[in-house]
């Protein structure tokens, strides 16, 4: 088949559009982050996420988040079937903008915490947690 220049450009445009699709579909947590930040830029300091490097068991993983001066902190598990984990919203009588809990991780993945600060800015911290299979699978 002989391609005209027109054909080549259309095919290239189609290929580019197709190439872009998987990237949008696989960006885990993107929707949740966009809803939380409204598209604002996210800084990388101001929030800490404490999680084990290797989870003793993926079903019960202890984590802690801390963001002095934050209004709320959203936690996502980017490798889970659904990324949402929890969102801490701090009220006027919160003694500190921190919280600890226990979460489920379905496999080795990045856990991320995004803090919304009182001045409307955002900060993010991430942690890679390894989730392993037990010795004999049990």
Partner 1 sequence: MTKTVLKGAIAAVVVLAGAQAALAGDGGLVINGELEMITEAPAADHLKGSLTTVYSGWVFRDVDTQAMQMDDFDNPGMLYVDQGEGMWNAPAGTSEKSCADCHGDASESMAGVRTVYPKWNEAAGEVRTLQMQINACRTENQGADAFKYGKDEINAMEAFISMQSRGMPMNVAIDGPAAATWEQGKEMYYARTGQLELSCANCHEDNYDNYIRADHLSQGQTNGFPVYRLKDTKLTSAAGRFVGCVRDTRAETYKIDSAEFVALELYVASRGNGLSVEGVSIRN
Partner 2 sequence: MAENVTPRVRVPRSAAAGEVITIKTLISHIMESGQRKDGDGNLIPRSIINRFTCDFNGQNVIDVTLEPAISTNPYFEFQAAVPEAGTYNFTWFDDDGSVYTDTKDIAIG
- How do beta strands 70-77 and 61-66 pair? unpaired
CA distance 53 to 132: 11
The site string for partner 2 over 43-82 (x = CB under 8 A, - otherwise) reads: ----------------xxx--x------------x--xxx
With CB under 8 A as the contact rule, which of the stretches 8-16, 38-46, 102-110, 118-126 interacts with partner 2? 102-110
Least distance from C-beta 72 to partner 2, angstroms? 9
For residue 84, state whether it binds partner 2 (rule: CB under 8 A): yes
User: Which of 44, 129, 40, 136 has the alpha carbon at shortest distance from 85?
Assistant: 129
For residue 115, state whether it binds partner 2 (rule: CB under 8 A): no
CA distance 77 to 112: 6
Least distance from C-beta 125 to partner 2, angstroms? 18
Burial of 4 (0-12, 13-18, 19+ CB in 10 A): exposed
Which residue lies nearer to partner 2 by CB, 8 or 60?
A: 60
For residue 99, state whether it binds partner 2 (rule: CB under 8 A): yes
């Amino acid at each position: 088949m002989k391609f005209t220049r027109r054909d080549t450009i259309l095919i290239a445009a189609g290929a580019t559009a197709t190439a872009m699709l998987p990237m949008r579909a696989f960006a885990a947590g993107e929707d949740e982050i966009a809803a939380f930040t409204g598209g604002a830029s996210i800084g990388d300091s101001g929030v800490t996420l404490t999680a084990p490097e290797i989870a003793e068991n993926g079903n019960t993983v202890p984590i802690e988040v801390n963001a002095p001066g934050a209004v709320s902190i959203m936690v996502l598990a980017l490798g889970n079937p659904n990324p949402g984990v929890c969102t801490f919203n701090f009220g006027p009588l919160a003694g500190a903008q921190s919280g600890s809990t226990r979460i489920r991780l379905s496999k080795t993945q990045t856990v991320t915490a995004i803090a919304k600060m009182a001045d409307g800015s955002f900060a993010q911290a991430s942690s890679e947690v390894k989730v392993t299979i037990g010795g004999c699978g049990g």
